[in-house]
């Protein structure tokens, strides 16, 4: 599933991964405003994909409420719907979006359903044409080459993502937690993002962090002894 980067474009391609936070309680509102502003459109078309939560209705309702207040036209792609989408319908829905936002939940469910419905190439194609990709938790992790995922038994696993962004991501990062041993075997860059914080990439280059207040994101390189805080890109007064 490596992302094919053998393409050239003058379009700015943006990814905004969010470490965590409760959207329904307004914990990420500064980040949500930032995402909408980055589209440079008055009423951007936003596609919410809540696959990782098994299309939880309350989650979709909360997203609609928040993003409609921000002036967006919101559509929701429910892959657990009993109505089977044609590839033409899926393609139109995904490629017409200005912003694609992927919700949090179970990463394995997200990936298996995306494969089943063959939407990964459609999302990649939309990204190449300038659609902003965003997401929280599982929706943050999916864009990277690898992610750290923990199950209910606290077992930590290194899993593959779509590979649009280099290295490993740790969403919901807490500095006091032990550094996963699985990472040390990879010898690649790690991006660790706290809850209520996001980062922005433009053309696969990390540009900085987007905290709600004072939350942080870090880049950590082998031998993983020092954590370099990502330079502030945006703060709440903007």
Which phi and psi (to 5°) does residue 67 adopt?
-80, -25
The answer to whether the predicted template modeling score (pTM) of the entire model surpasses 0.75 is: yes
* Contact criterion met (CB below 8 Å) for 146 and 159: yes
> Which residue, 69, 48, 43, 70, is CA-closest to 59?
48
Q: Cα separations (Å) of 68 from 30, 64, 101, 136, 226?
A: 15, 6, 14, 18, 41
CATH architecture of 14-229: 3-Layer(aba) Sandwich (3.40)
Query: Is residue 237 very low, low, confident or very high in pLDDT (cuts 50, 70, 90)?
Result: very low
178 has a pLDDT exceeding 80: no
Residues 21-44, mean pLDDT to the nearest whole number: 95
- Please report which confidence band the pLDDT of residue 233 belongs to, taking 50, 70 and 90 as the band edges: low
- pLDDT bin (cut points 50, 70, 90) of residue 180 is confident
Please choose, from the candidates 42, 100, 109, the residue with its C-alpha nearest in 3D space to the C-alpha of residue 76: 100
Tokens 């990814």 — which residue?
A: 15
DSSP summary character for residue 114: H
Q: Where are the domains of the chain?
A: 14-229
* Whether residue 135 has pLDDT greater than 80: yes
Which has the closest alpha carbon to 30: 197, 216, 203?
A: 197
């Amino acid at each position: 599933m490596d992302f094919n980067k053998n393409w050239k474009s003058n379009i700015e391609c943006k990814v905004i991964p969010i470490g965590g936070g409760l959207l329904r309680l307004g914990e990420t509102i500064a980040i949500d405003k930032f995402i909408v502003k980055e589209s440079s459109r008055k009423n951007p078309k936003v596609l919410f994909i809540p696959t990782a939560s098994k299309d939880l209705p309350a989650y979709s309702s909360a997203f609609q409420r928040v993003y409609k207040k921000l002036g967006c036209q919101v559509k929701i792609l429910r892959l657990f719907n009993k109505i089977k989408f044609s590839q033409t319908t899926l393609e139109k829905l995904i490629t017409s979006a200005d912003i694609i936002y992927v919700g949090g939940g179970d990463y394995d469910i997200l990936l298996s359903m995306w494969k089943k419905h063959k939407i990964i190439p459609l999302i990649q194609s939309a990204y190449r044409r300038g659609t902003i990709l965003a997401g929280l938790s599982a929706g943050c992790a999916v864009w990277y080459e690898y992610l750290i995922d923990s199950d209910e038994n606290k077992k930590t696993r290194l899993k593959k993502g779509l590979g649009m962004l280099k290295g490993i991501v740790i969403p919901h990062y807490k500095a006091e937690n032990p550094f996963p041993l699985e990472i040390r075997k990879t010898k690649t860059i790690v991006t660790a993002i706290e809850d209520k914080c996001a980062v922005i990439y433009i053309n696969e280059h990390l540009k900085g962090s987007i905290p709600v207040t004072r939350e942080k994101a870090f880049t950590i390189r082998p031998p993983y002894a020092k954590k370099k805080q990502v330079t502030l890109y945006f703060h709440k007064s903007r």
